[in-house]
Structure 1
Amino acid sequence: MIKLKNIRLLIVNYPGSMQSAIIGLEEMLMLANQLVAKFTAYSQHQSEINSRRKSMLNNFFEVNIIDRDIWLSQSAQKKTTLHAKAHVIVLPPSIEGEYFVNPETSLIQWLVQQHQQGSIICSACAGSFVIAAAGLLNHRAATTHWDLAGMFAKQFPQVKVNSERILINDGDIITAGGLMSWIDLGLELVAQFTQPAIMRQLGKYLIVDTGPREQSYYQSFKPILDHGDKIILRTQHFIQANYQQALPITKLAQQCHLTERTFLRHFVTATGFKPNAYIQRLRIQKACDLLETTVFTFEVISHKVGYEDTSACRKAFVKITGLTPKNFKRRFSRTADR
Structure 2
Amino acid sequence: MKHISVLVPKGDVAVASIEGPYKMFSHVNEFLQREGKPPAFKIELVGFSRESLLDNGMYTLNTHRTLADSFKTDLIFIPAVHGDFKKVIKQNYEMTQWVANQYKQGAEIASLCVGAFLLASTGLLQGKKCATHWLFANDFRKMFPEVNLVAEKIITDECGIYSSGGAYSFLNLLLYLVEKYVGRDMAILCAKIFEIEVDRGSQSPFTIFNGQKDHDDESIKKAQSFIENNFQQKITVDQLASMLALSRRNLERRFKKATSNTTVEYIQRVKIEAAKISLESSRENVNEVMYKVGYTDSKAFRVTFKKITGLSPVQYRSRYSRLN
**Is the Cα contact below 8 Å between 2:73 and 2:107 reproduced in 1?**
yes
**Is the Cα contact below 8 Å between 2:47 and 2:67 reproduced in 1?**
no
For residue 45 of structure 2, the aligned residue among 51, 56, 65 is 65
Q: How far has the Cα of 1:224 moved from its partner?
A: 0.9
**Is the Cα contact below 8 Å between 2:46 and 2:66 reproduced in 1?**
no
Q: How far has the Cα of 1:120 moved from its partner?
A: 0.7
The alpha-carbon distance between structure 1 residues 293 and 68, as it changes in their structure 2 partners (threshold 3 A), is: farther
Q: Distance in 1 between matches of 2:101 and 2:293?
A: 52
Pairing of 1:52-131 with structure 2 (within 5 A): 59-69=39-49, 78=66, 81=69, 83-98=70-85, 99-131=87-119
Q: Distance in 1 between matches of 2:16 and 2:96?
A: 24
Q: Distance in 2 between matches of 1:231 and 1:131?
A: 35
Q: Tell me the alpha carbon deviations over residues 166-197 of structure 1, each in whole angstroms, 9 at most, x when there is no partner.
A: 00122410111101122112212211221110
Tell me which amino acid in the other structure corresponds to 1:218.
F
- Which entry has the higher C-alpha Rg, 1 or 2? 1
Greater than 4 Å deviation, 4+ residue runs: 77-80
Greater percentage in strand = 2
Pairing of 1:11-22 with structure 2 (within 5 A): 11-14=6-9, 15-22=11-18
The alpha-carbon distance between structure 1 residues 79 and 246, as it changes in their structure 2 partners (threshold 3 A), is: closer
Q: Distance in 2 between matches of 1:100 and 1:301?
A: 43
Q: Distance in 1 between matches of 2:24 and 2:140?
A: 29
**Is the Cα contact below 8 Å between 1:94 and 1:126 reproduced in 2?**
yes
Q: Distance in 1 between matches of 2:144 and 2:232?
A: 35
The alpha-carbon distance between structure 1 residues 261 and 182, as it changes in their structure 2 partners (threshold 3 A), is: closer
For residue 243 of structure 1, the aligned residue among 225, 228, 231 is 231
Q: Distance in 1 between matches of 2:146 and 2:190?
A: 37
Provide structure 2 residue ranges, at least 5 long, that are not aligned to the other structure.
Answer: 53-64
For residue 293 of structure 1, the aligned residue among 263, 278, 281 is 281
**Is the Cα contact below 8 Å between 2:255 and 2:263 reproduced in 1?**
yes
1:48 maps to: none
Provide structure 1 residue ranges, at least 5 long, that are not aligned to the other structure.
Answer: 42-57
Q: Tell me the alpha carbon deviations over residues 40-97 of structure 1, each in whole angstroms, 9 at most, x when there is no partner.
A: 45xxxxxxxxxxxxxxxx743222112233699xxxx95553x311111001122344
The alpha-carbon distance between structure 1 residues 184 and 314, as it changes in their structure 2 partners (threshold 3 A), is: same
Matched, 1:140 2:128: yes
Q: Distance in 2 between matches of 1:146 and 1:108?
A: 23
**Count of matched residue positions in the alignment of Structure 1 and Structure 2:** 310
Matched, 1:172 2:160: yes
Q: Tell me the alpha carbon deviations over residues 7-34 of structure 1, each in whole angstroms, 9 at most, x when there is no partner.
A: 2211111122101221132122222222
Matched, 1:283 2:279: no
Q: Distance in 1 between matches of 2:240 and 2:6?
A: 49
1:25 maps to: 21
For residue 8 of structure 1, the aligned residue among 3, 10, 17 is 3
TM-score by length of 2: 0.89
The alpha-carbon distance between structure 1 residues 261 and 118, as it changes in their structure 2 partners (threshold 3 A), is: same
Tell me which amino acid in the other structure corresponds to 2:310.
G
